[in-house]
Amino acid sequence: MDSSARIALSTALLAIPPTYFVTEHAEELRRRGEPYSFAVVPLAARVDPGTVTTPVLPALTIPRSYRTRSALAKFAMPLQARTLTRLRPDLIHQHHGTWSSGARSAARALDVPLVTTLHGTDVVHALRSDPRGLQRVHRKQVQQAFRDSDLLLAVSEHQRRLALRAGAPADRLHVHYQGIDTEYFSPDTSGIAEDRPRRLLYVGGLIPRKRVDLAIDASIRAHGTLEHELLIVGDGPERSALEAKAEDHPHIRFLGAQSRAGVRELMRSSDLLLLLSHSEGAGLVILEAQACGMAAVVTGGDGKAEMVEDGVTGRVITGDSPTPDDAARAILEWTPQDTETRRQISRTARSFVVEKRSVRRGASELDGHYCSLLSR
């Protein structure tokens, strides 16, 4: 490319914090001085001041709460298309196949390349055999994204396989791991503390598909052998029921939602991340934890398994119906007592993310895709 290329990033809802994946690679490419200028055009947004440097131009700008704007976002795709068209980008990069008609319309009107990243729920909608109501809309949107995108990026090999089953064209579908910032997510420079109990950590929503109840049961079983804390970070509709389940076990504490910096500090002072959810497209929190020096225990069968080097940086629990005993055994295996083993796990976990799942690596791959499309 001879001059700076204008790239518009589009998505449905943009809430920063806690979700940085839409802007993370753009921020990295700008830091490196690559010849791109970026702008983000979500349907609706809530972005805390100072969190990102990329300009954010939401389609909906009405003076209402983010919750209200989020509810109205599905009607704002024509506004999004107009905003994107006014920007006249050289390439549009849409995140999620659902709610993608604004990006697709603008790319068609401007005759510019369209990239769509598939994150997981969009592919699930495309696979529905008997969708109803809004599910039909979602499936149609994703199928149209398959048809109209010059390049489709799946966030894991698992998602790529599902997308192929859903009808995505194999010649335009590639895996692009969503890297994380390994300079921000890094271990405590003072090293592993000797005077604290072993600490397990869960970070995420308190919703049924996350199976936090399974993490609690596993921790209770493991506690008889290994004294430890289980810290649960996040909020959601299951919080009251989960707190009731754990009320007789004081080693389990609920911390509620935390800032990004707060999560990082907890990761730096914890030993093991637990993520036993039913399904994840990838699971960036697993990478963030390992970059901070934690081991990880996750359930398999989805994109999470690609975020851990099984048997090296943690354990992937296989099988369709993991039990608390399965998870408890993994906890005991990956929460060693001796300090030197803990240090070795910490070094290995961080090296895996830095070398294979960092935002630097992901940005380099994305740069290659952008250059290829823009040179056509």
The whole-number pLDDT of residue 297 equals 98
pLDDT score of 196: 77
Give the pLDDT score at 191.
67
Residues of the chain where predicted confidence (pLDDT) is lower than 50: none
pLDDT at 189: 81
Q: What is the pLDDT of residue 243?
A: 98
Which domains, from first to last, does the chain contain?
A: 5-179+358-374 (3.40.50.2000), 198-356 (3.40.50.2000)
Could you read off the pLDDT of 135-186 as tens digits, one per residue? 999 999 999 999 999 999 999 999 999 999 999 999 999 999 999 999 999 9
Tell me if the pTM is above 0.85.
Answer: yes
| Secondary structure, 3-state, the chain | CCCCEEEEEEEEEEEECCCCHHHHHHHHHHHCCCCEEEEEEEEEEEECCCCCCCCECCCCCCCCCHHHHHHHHHHCHHHHHHHHHHHCCCEEEEECCCCCHHHHHHHHHHCCCEEEEECCHHHHHHHCCCCCCHHHHHHHHHHHHHHHCCEEEECCHHHHHHHHHCCCCHHHEEECCCCECCCCCCCCCCCCCCCCCEEEEEECCCCHHHCHHHHHHHHHHHHCCCCEEEEEECCCCCHHHHHHHHCCCCCEEEEECCCHHHHHHHHHCCCEEEECCCCCCCCHHHHHHHHCCCEEEEECCCHHHHHCCECCCEEEECCCCCCHHHHHHHHHHCCCCCHHHHHHHHHHHHHHHHHHCEHHHHHHHHHHHHHHHHCC
272-328, pLDDT tens digit by residue? 999 999 989 999 999 999 999 999 999 999 999 999 999 999 999 998 899 999 999
Q: Residue 246: what pLDDT?
A: 98
